Each structure stands twice: as structure tokens, then as C-alpha cells.
Chain A
Amino acid sequence: MQLVAVALACVAVLLGAAVLAVAVSARRVASTVVYGACLAASSIALAAALVHFAGTSPVTLTLPLGLPWLGAHFRLDALAALFLAVVNLGGASASLYALGYGKHEPLPGRVLPFFPAFLAGMNLVVLADDAFTFLLCWEFMSLASWALVMAHHRVEDNVRAAFIYLVMASFGTLALLLAFGVLAGPDGAYGFAAIREGVQTPLENTLVLALVLIGAGSKAGLVPLHVWLPLAHPAAPSHVSALMSGVMTKVAVYAFVRVAFDLLDGSDWWQSMVVLFIGGGTAALGVLYALMQHDLKRLLAYHTVENIGIIYIGLGLALAFQANGMMAATALALTAALFHVFNHSLFKSLLFFGAGAVLTATGQRDMEALGGLIRRMPYTSFAFLVGCAAISALPPLNGFASEWLTFQAILQSPDLPQWGLKFMVPAVGGLLALSAALAAACFVKAFGITFLGRPRSHAAETAREVDRFSLTAMFGLAGLCLLAGILPGFVIDALAPVTLSLVGERMPAQADVAWLSIVPIAEARSSYNGLLVFVFVAFSASFAAYIIHRFASHALRRAPAWDCGFPEPSVRTQYTAGSFAQPIRRVFGTLIFRAREHVDMPPPGDSRPARFHVDLRDLVWEVLYLPVAAIVNSTATRLNHFQFLTIRRYLGLVFLALVTLLLVLAIWL
């Protein structure tokens, strides 16, 4: 009871800050006040969520808002507490970051009011306990983030991004609306408590799952509903991009988990195949798209698509195991997915903060104009490097721990009885392995081209390190990435109440395993110890450094780069983002992107410059969206005819419609 009240009070503070921001946004102190209030409110809500993990019983609260006969129900259970923690951890770090970053905002009036509102919306979605409140808050969250995408509305690309986002968000909400309509049934039992007690027919079950997969998936960025994400996330200011990518996609995952594991009674095995297929495809395609980008923020946004795919692979596995009554494996797969939710919110926020810092320092998002920043911005680059290593699933950081758990869940799958799943799961495992390896390639590119090498522009050459608030936020998240990576057992134990409440099973307790290892099933099967690996690597590296410095030569001479005897002074001879990805583009891109290279090489004696051009096609966009847009356009053109009728014809139309409806009604009843 009290904890929900605390969380709702924090939401009220956030909404108050939003209103205040409208009034004061022109003042200089406005950003400090607003982001300070957001930081305080998020921290308190985070504390409330963490305290709730200690107690297990759900607490509810009903406010006399919303529909008069329903009221607004709020509930804090283990699942809500987990996502409340994720939302507010992201919110608090983004607010801290924005205390510094927000000062560079050219149009504070377009960001300050919406930022707290966006945070409040996400908090409310997680807390909502009836369909009406949920959908209302969901839409509130979408619109607030849409306003933030539109913050820099003079840039033409942003307007287009915001338009596509708005269309896709409305479409997603429509799907969710229908899903909750089916769940609530003809009696209109909109409270989640009533829905949980209700029983669905198999058809209803399938329909709801499909609608939620579409509705939540479009917000999370599942392929093929991802098209808005890489446009909209980078368009917003960087701290908002971090929230949208790191946190809002998790709210979408929350919606899916809430419906699929909590509100529905269970699912069929073939439904989990659909989720697995979409998850695997999303993971592999997301990272391939990311590899082709040279806009740093867009690369990160595409990478969110990949990680959402990994999360959905975990969720799909959990659904498959659950449908077959393998509860221990269900708990393992679900824990892996939720762990990855937490991890991704950490490192994706961190990486977007880093991209924002680069943007502040250089005014550039295009990697082809960056380079050499490790020398100008040592702290930012170190934090960004930790984020890159974590998202590439390198041990001993946190991304590896959750992907390792996902692999362990996959290795449980030969016991599944259905042939479809027997074939699907190893294939999905292959896709997961492929996307993990490509992610590492992608972040070698992101870090290497942006921070290493020689500066490719004057802006990169003269960049300056960013302010302390931003650095504190980045280093805090980097520290958490390391901590969650070397002590994964504690995170797994913290997730136990969530899986217990959702599927009635938990992973074995990890805290009392010797040496703080994690053992998902049994010691004989597999174990991993991030702490020990970290200590070993740290020890071996220090040992090697000690031996070298004790016995080997100390001499060191700075000289021009060797480069096989032909050092080229021009910075344009360096590898670029495009050329770095060229081998991978050749291997994968010719099929998936229909990549075509056009080389225009003038003959000897001709002084024209040689030209090289690569054609990449986004098949999802061309095959799915353009035809739909064309149909909508042509229908609109035809319907346009109705706009220019005389009054008599309008009256006739109204009469005709009335008669038709009455006829339908008469036949129906």
C-alpha cells in the first residue's frame, strides 16, 4: 500500500515538474530545477521498487480517477517492481546526465515539459492494474515521447521520423486496445484482477497473444515493426534517446510479459514458435542493419532492435518450456530474458549518453567525420568502451552473463517433445550466436571509427571533454555493468520473486553457491563465475605488466606510424565506417540488403574523380510498408471524391448509411 503510494507520489512530482517546466522553461535555471526534480523523484521511486523486492506480497491502490465505475487501479507486484526499478534507474541516470547535457539544449521549452511527463507515463504503465489506466498511460507515454522526438522540429528528417513514429505508435495502441478488449470479454471486466480470473477460449488466447505481440512489439521494435525506431530514437535529444532505447522498449517488453505470462492462462507450443522465429529474425537483422550505419546514434538504435530480439528469444523459450510443463527450464529462460532487459537498459543508456557527449563535443553524429576522440575525451571514451564491451557480450561484463543464461536455456531444449520446436530452437541458437558475433564487429566499428584513429574533421580535432554530471552518469552505469557482470548471482536471485509469481518456479538460489558462481541447473552441467574470471584476468594482466616492467626494456620512442613503410599523411586514407563494414556487407549484405557496388573509374588520362557508390535497399520497407502506404494513398484519393458533394448528396449518404446499419442490425438479431 505505502510503496504504491510512494511510487505514485513520485509520478505526481514528475507531472508537477512537467507543468512547472512549461512556466519556467525560458529561465536559465529551469533545466537544473526540472532535471533535479526528475532525479529526486526517480531515485525515490527506484528505492521504493528495490524495497518492494524485499517484501513479496503485491500491494494495490485504487484512485477515483478514470472511468467512474472502474476507478484507476494500481498494483506493485514483483514484475512491476522489477520494471519500475529499470524505468527509474534509467530515469535517474538520464536526469543526472541531463543536468549537464540539458544546458546545451537550444530549445529547452520543447524538451523540459515533456521529459518529466515521459518518465511519469512510463512509471504509470508499469504500475497500472486495469486495462483502461494501462492504455491511457501507454498513450500518454507514446505522445510525450513523440513530442520529444519533435523537439528539433526544424530538421526535416525529424518531422518525418516523428510522423512515422506517430503512425506506428497509434497502430500499436490499437492492437493493444483490441487485445484488452478480447481479454475483458463482453462484460467489460477491465481490471487485471478480473482478467486473471477469466478463462479464454483457444481462439481468444491466440488472438490476444498475436495482438500483444504486434502492439507491444511495435513499441519494442520487433522486425518488421521496427522501422520507426531507428528514425525516432536518434532524432530526440540524447538523454531522451537513452530513455527511449534503454527504457521505453523495456516498458513494451513489460506489456508483453504481463499479458503473456500473467493475464493469459498459458499458451500453446506453436505460439512460442512464432515468438522464437520473430525474436531470432529480429536479433540477426537488427545487428546487420546496425553494421551498415555510419550515424552513431542510428547505429545504437538499430542495435536496440537486436537486443530486443535476444530478449524475445528468451521469452519465446520460456513460452515453449511452459507449454510443455518444464518449469525449471521456463524459469531459466524467463530469468535470462529479464536479466537481459536489465542489462540492456544499463548499457544502452550508457552508450547513448556517450553518443550525446560526442555530439556535444563535436556537433557530429556522423562517424565518418569523427575519430581520435580517445585523446580529446579520455573519460567519455573509457565509459563508452565499457558499454561497447558489455553490449558485445564480452566476459566478465553483464551482457555476457545474460546471453550465457540464454544459451543455457537453449541447451535445455532437446527435451521438448514437439518436432517443430526441436528444429526451431537450434536454428534460433545459431541466429543468437551469429548476432552476438556481429554485435562485437559492430561495436569494434562504432568505437574504433569514432574514438580511435586520427580525427577526420576539425570538430573532432578540437573536441573537449564533457561536464561532470554527464561523466558521473556514464561512469555510474559503467560501474553497474561491471558489477552485474561479476556478481550475476545476486541479480538472478533478485529476479526469483518475479519468475515465482509469473510461472510458479524459480532458478536455484545462487547466493550460497561457493565462490559466487552461477549454476543455472546443476554444477555438473554448467557454471560460470564472472568474479573469478575478472580476478584472473586482472591478476594475469598485472602480473604480465609487472614482469615486463621488472625485466624487460623500458625504452620507448615516439615516431611516425610505420604502416609498412608507406605512411600516408592524409586522414582520409584511414578506414572509415563504410569501408570497415565492407567485408561483412559483402558476405551478408548482398542477400539481405541487395547491396550493389557501383564503381565509376575514369580511364587513364581522364581527370574526373573516381566514384564509388553502394546501393543498400531496405526490403522490409519496400515489401511491407510502401505497398501499404500506396494502398492508403490510393484509397484516400478515391475517398477524396466524397469531400466535394452537394448537401443533398450528403443527406442521401447519411440516410443510406442509417438504413444499411438498421438492416445489418435486423439481420444480426
Chain B
Amino acid sequence: MALVAGFLAQAMQMALVLIAAPLLTGFVRKVKARLQRRRGPSVLQPYRDLYRLMRKEVVLAENASWLFRVTPYLIFAVTWVAASLVPTFASGLMFSWAADLIAIIALLGSARFFLALAGLDVGTSFGGIGSSREVMIASLAEPAMLLIVFPLALVAGSTQLSNVAEFMVSPDVGLRVSLGLALIALIMVAIAENGRIPIDNPSTHLELTMIHEAMVLEYSGRHLAMIELAASMKLLLYLSLLACLFLPWGLATQGMGVAAYAVGLTSYLGKLAAGGVLLAVFELVVAKMRVFRVPEFLGAALMLGLLGTLLLFLSRSL
């Protein structure tokens, strides 16, 4: 019985990230539009877009290979698995131990690896520019992310997200400089990884500034739907990660019953909404930066992570 309940909770989390992801994207767009004094499309627009893309035919470049056609499903699957491994409404779910934070980062790395390959597959110059810039950004964002893992893991004594989250609600965390640095660095990495302003513009139509959009330029129809959904889930993943690491309040633990799950779910949706509003506000107050300023931005995140780690090596209480 416990097994079935555990399985159900895990399945619920998988369904939740899948369903909530487009909503989050729509919500961020809506908030941005309202802040710009536009009415903006409905928050449900991303679902409609996905539906529409699914119904359309795929226009495939003549020389696209099998890799190009497989990649959308692969990216979707990998991102989905990674997003379901991050605690959302409850920690310690049935399979949460299958991959720790390092493995989740590496899973996202797999998705990016294949997306960058897909960008090169057709052999167009825009695909190349996207892939080449994406791997440059990743080559700094990924180490920065791992250096953020170090202080978290050292403080909590675990790289397992559920354990870190449980530690973070316990009273022995306290205010720590290293965690503060890790938080700032994680936000910077999250912005870069999701291709948000100031790194990349998700709604750009100016070719030379595109990174993510340039890689997926040749995709259409159901393939594009998969990629869009994966991108939404990635945004959700990073917000969940921030929520479960730095705002773990309300998180239910495995087997606490339906009421706790309901509290967890409500607080999770609240955290997502808050994160979405903050993201929208942030995107409106900063300008996009030149692509060769990005290394400085991410280098700062890298240094913050390293500094946080070094502080912890100096003293466990910092």
C-alpha cells in the first residue's frame, strides 16, 4: 500500500511538472505584458500554442538526419525526468534518490548536448551560431552550477535534494554567507540556462541576437512543440530548485498524508507565482547584454560559487 502511495505521489509530481510548466511560461508572459501596460495573451496561450503546433505538419529540412528527428523527444524526456527529480510539493519521494543534484545538472547537460547537435545537423549558419554560443555559455554555466552544489552539499552534508531541502527547514541552518553567495550565483545561472534577459531573449526575432531560438530555427510542428515544452519545464525546474533549496517551507515529506500534500502543493504554486513575478520584473528592468559580456556575467557566478565553497572550507559555520 505504501508502495502504491509512493508511486502515486511520484507520478503526481511527474504530471504536475508537465502540466504546470506551460502555465508558468504563460504567467510570466502575462505579468510582463501587464507591467508594460499591455493586455497580453491569456495565461493559457502556451497550451494553445502547443496544441496548434501538434496539429501542424512538420516541415523538415531536406538533409535533416535521424538525429534531428529523435532529438526533440530525447530533450523532452531528459528534461522531464530531471524536473520530476527536483522536489516540488514534497521531498523524499519514491525515486528522489535515483539522481542527486549533480546528476540532475548532468541530465540537463545531456539535453543541451543533443540540442546543440541538432542545431548543427541541417548545416545552416544560424543553427551553427546558436550551437556555438550555447556551448560557450554552458561551458561557464555548468561549472558555476557545480560550484553552487559544493557549498549546499557541504552545509547539508548531502547532494541529495530531498535531504538538502529537509536540512534547510531545520533550525541548524542559520544565516550563512556561503548560502547567500550560492543563492545569488544560482539565480544568475538560472537566468543564463533558461536563456532569459539579459543573456538571451526568449521572444526575440532579431536573428543575430538569438541563441536558443537560433538552434531550434529549423524545427516545426510537433518537434517544435516538444522543444517548447522542454524549455518551459526547464524554467519550472530552476524555479523549483530555487524554491526547494532556499524556500523549502511547506514542503511535505513522504507519507505525511493528503493534507500535507495539499499544503505542499499550494505553497509550491505560490512560490512559482512569486518566482514568475520576480522574473518578469527583473526582465523588464535590465537590458540584454552583448554576447561577449556573458562570460563576465557567468564568471561572476562562478567566482561567487567558488567563494562560497572556500568560505565553507575555512569554517563550517560560515
A553 CA to B309 CA, complexed, in Å:
50
Beta-carbon contact of B125 and A527 below 8 Å: no
- Min CB distance, A537 to chain B, in Å? 5
Q: Which of B62, B112, B316 contacts A414 (CB 8 A)?
A: B316
Contacts of A402-427 to chain B: CB distance below 8 A? 404, 407-408, 410-411, 413-414, 422-423, 425-427
Q: Which of B99, B146, B157, B218 contacts A395 (CB 8 A)?
A: B99
Q: Which of B77, B102, B120 contacts A404 (CB 8 A)?
A: B102
Tell whether A199 is near chain B: CB-to-CB under 8 Å.
no
Tell whether A555 is near chain B: CB-to-CB under 8 Å.
yes
Given contacts A540-B81, A561-B61, contact A433 B142 (CB under 8 A): yes
Stretch at the interface among B22-30, B133-141, B243-251, B279-287: B133-141
Residues of A within 8 A of B127 (CB): 563, 575
Tell whether A523 is near chain B: CB-to-CB under 8 Å.
yes
Beta-carbon contact of B123 and A430 below 8 Å: no
Residues of B within 8 A of A392 (CB): 109, 113
A410 CA to B309 CA, complexed, in Å:
12
Which chain A residue lies CB-closest to B299? A587
- Can you list, as one digit per residue, whether each of A517-558 has a CB less than 8 Å from chain B (1) or not (0)? 100000111111100110011111101110010011101111
Q: Which of B59, B125, B147 contacts A557 (CB 8 A)?
A: B59
A557 CA to B62 CA, complexed, in Å:
9
Q: Which of B124, B139, B312 contacts A438 (CB 8 A)?
A: B139
Beta-carbon contact of B128 and A580 below 8 Å: yes
Residues of A within 8 A of B222 (CB): 548, 552-553
Q: Which of B95, B121, B153, B295 contacts A532 (CB 8 A)?
A: B95
Beta-carbon contact of B136 and A584 below 8 Å: yes
- Can you list, as one digit per residue, whether each of A441-465 has a CB less than 8 Å from chain B (1) or not (0)? 1011101110011100000000000
Tell whether B74 is near chain A: CB-to-CB under 8 Å.
yes
Stretch at the interface among A101-109, A124-132, A306-314, A566-574: A566-574
- Min CB distance, B227 to chain A, in Å? 11
Residues of B within 8 A of A562 (CB): 59, 61, 124, 217-218
Beta-carbon contact of A437 and B123 below 8 Å: no
Beta-carbon contact of B100 and A528 below 8 Å: yes
Tell whether A236 is near chain B: CB-to-CB under 8 Å.
no
A438 CA to B117 CA, complexed, in Å:
15
Beta-carbon contact of B61 and A575 below 8 Å: no
Beta-carbon contact of A583 and B57 below 8 Å: no
A392 CA to B292 CA, complexed, in Å:
25
A38 CA to B175 CA, complexed, in Å:
64
Beta-carbon contact of A560 and B116 below 8 Å: no
Residues of A within 8 A of B122 (CB): 453, 561, 563
- Min CB distance, A354 to chain B, in Å? 15
Beta-carbon contact of A580 and B99 below 8 Å: no
Tell whether A582 is near chain B: CB-to-CB under 8 Å.
yes
- Min CB distance, B119 to chain A, in Å? 8
Given contacts A441-B136, A575-B128, contact A533 B306 (CB under 8 A): no
- Min CB distance, A535 to chain B, in Å? 9
A427 CA to B309 CA, complexed, in Å:
9
- Min CB distance, B65 to chain A, in Å? 5
Given contacts A395-B99, A433-B143, contact A557 B57 (CB under 8 A): yes
- Min CB distance, A641 to chain B, in Å? 54
Beta-carbon contact of B139 and A395 below 8 Å: no
Residues of B within 8 A of A395 (CB): 99, 103, 106-107, 110
A568 CA to B125 CA, complexed, in Å:
8
Q: Which of B74, B128, B217, B306 contacts A426 (CB 8 A)?
A: B306
Beta-carbon contact of B132 and A582 below 8 Å: yes
Stretch at the interface among B158-166, B180-188, B195-203, B267-275: B158-166
Beta-carbon contact of A541 and B120 below 8 Å: no
Beta-carbon contact of B158 and A524 below 8 Å: yes
Stretch at the interface among A23-31, A167-175, A181-189, A368-376: A368-376
Beta-carbon contact of A422 and B55 below 8 Å: no
- Can you list, as one digit per residue, whether each of B147-160 has a CB less than 8 Å from chain A (1) or not (0)? 10010011001111
- Label chain B's interface by main secondary structure: helix
Which chain B residue lies CB-closest to A378? B66
Most buried by B among A375, A440, A515, A567: A440
Tell whether B256 is near chain A: CB-to-CB under 8 Å.
no
A551 CA to B97 CA, complexed, in Å:
33
Residues of B within 8 A of A408 (CB): 159
- Label chain A's interface by main secondary structure: helix
Most buried by B among A422, A538, A548, A579: A548
A579 CA to B131 CA, complexed, in Å:
11
Given contacts A440-B138, A544-B226, contact A414 B312 (CB under 8 A): yes
Beta-carbon contact of A414 and B313 below 8 Å: yes
Contacts of A467-508 to chain B: CB distance below 8 A? none
Which chain A residue lies CB-closest to B157? A525
Beta-carbon contact of B61 and A444 below 8 Å: no
Residues of B within 8 A of A411 (CB): 150, 153-154, 159
Tell whether B73 is near chain A: CB-to-CB under 8 Å.
yes
Which chain A residue lies CB-closest to B133? A583
- Min CB distance, B17 to chain A, in Å? 11
Beta-carbon contact of A557 and B60 below 8 Å: yes
Which chain A residue lies CB-closest to B121? A452
Beta-carbon contact of B140 and A587 below 8 Å: yes
Q: Which of A434, A454, A543, A563 contacts B126 (CB 8 A)?
A: A563
Beta-carbon contact of A453 and B121 below 8 Å: yes
Beta-carbon contact of A426 and B143 below 8 Å: no
A626 CA to B176 CA, complexed, in Å:
50
Which chain A residue lies CB-closest to B147? A430
A533 CA to B102 CA, complexed, in Å:
13
Which chain B residue lies CB-closest to A547? B54
A371 CA to B127 CA, complexed, in Å:
14
Beta-carbon contact of A452 and B123 below 8 Å: yes
Which chain B residue lies CB-closest to A582? B132
Residues of A within 8 A of B291 (CB): 583
A425 CA to B295 CA, complexed, in Å:
24
Residues of A within 8 A of B66 (CB): 374, 378
Tell whether B238 is near chain A: CB-to-CB under 8 Å.
no
- Min CB distance, A329 to chain B, in Å? 14
Residues of B within 8 A of A557 (CB): 57-60
Beta-carbon contact of A394 and B140 below 8 Å: no
Tell whether B168 is near chain A: CB-to-CB under 8 Å.
no
Most buried by B among A427, A528, A533: A533
Residues of A within 8 A of B98 (CB): 515, 517, 527-529, 532-533, 536
Tell whether B6 is near chain A: CB-to-CB under 8 Å.
no
The 6 closest A-B pairs by CB, nearest first: A575-B128, A555-B57, A453-B123, A448-B120, A541-B77, A540-B77
Q: List 27 A-B contacts (CB under 8 A).
A: A394-B106, A410-B150, A411-B154, A414-B316, A429-B150, A429-B309, A430-B143, A430-B302, A448-B119, A527-B97, A528-B99, A528-B103, A532-B98, A533-B103, A540-B78, A541-B74, A548-B73, A551-B54, A552-B54, A559-B59, A568-B124, A575-B125, A580-B128, A580-B132, A583-B135, A583-B292, A584-B136
Residues of A whose CB lies within 8 Å of any CB of B are 371-372, 374-375, 378, 385, 389, 392-395, 400, 404, 407-408, 410-411, 413-414, 422-423, 425-427, 429-430, 433-434, 436-438, 440-441, 443-445, 447-449, 452-454, 515, 517, 523-529, 532-533, 536-541, 543-545, 548, 551-553, 555-564, 567-568, 571, 573-575, 579-584, 586-587
Residues of B whose CB lies within 8 Å of any CB of A are 54-63, 65-67, 73-74, 76-78, 80-81, 95, 97-100, 102-103, 106-107, 109-110, 112-113, 116-117, 119-129, 131-133, 135-136, 138-143, 146-147, 150, 153-154, 157-160, 163, 207, 217-218, 221-222, 225-226, 291-292, 295, 302, 305-306, 309-310, 312-314, 316
Additional A-B contact list (8), CB under 8 Å, known A378-B66, A539-B77: A426-B313, A434-B139, A526-B102, A527-B98, A540-B76, A544-B77, A562-B59, A575-B120
